[in-house]
């Protein structure tokens, strides 16, 4: 029974993790290779910061649930 519940939660967390990674900015991309603004340091603010932390939380949850599913 716990196996099914953990699997469902794992699928939901993995989809949320993929969405949070895909929504993040890609940065300068190839522009930095050809002398673009590669040396500029930018801090995360607002929604970008929340998305950054959500990605970390979803990754930790994914790892924990995967290990739990391995043990159960």
User: Considering the domain boundaries, does residue 21 fall inside one?
Assistant: no
Mean pLDDT by 10 residues, the chain (72 residues): 93 96 71 57 81 95 96 88
Total tally of structural domains belonging to the chain? 1
Residue 40 belongs to a domain: no
Q: Is residue 32 part of a domain?
A: no
Query: How high is the pLDDT of residue 38?
Result: 56
Domain, as residue range, for 61: 1-15+47-72
> Is 36 within a domain?
no
Task: Record the tokens describing residue 50, joined without a space.
Answer: 């929340």
Residue 12: per-residue pLDDT? 97
Residue 26 lies in a domain: no
Does residue 38 belong to any structural domain of this protein?
A: no
Q: Which residues contact 38 (CB under 8 A, 6 or more apart)?
A: 28, 31, 32
> Taking CA 14 as the corner, what is the angle to CA 10 and CA 19, rounded to the nearest 5 degrees?
150
pLDDT of 58 reads: 97
pLDDT computed for residue 27 by the predictor = 56
């Amino acid at each position: 029974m716990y196996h099914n519940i953990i699997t469902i939660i794992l699928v939901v967390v993995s989809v949320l993790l993929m969405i949070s990674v895909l929504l993040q900015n890609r940065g300068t991309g190839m522009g930095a290779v050809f002398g673009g603004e590669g040396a500029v340091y930018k801090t995360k603010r607002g929604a970008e910061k929340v998305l950054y932390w959500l990605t970390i939380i979803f990754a930790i949850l994914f790892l924990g649930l995967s290990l739990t599913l391995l043990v159960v």
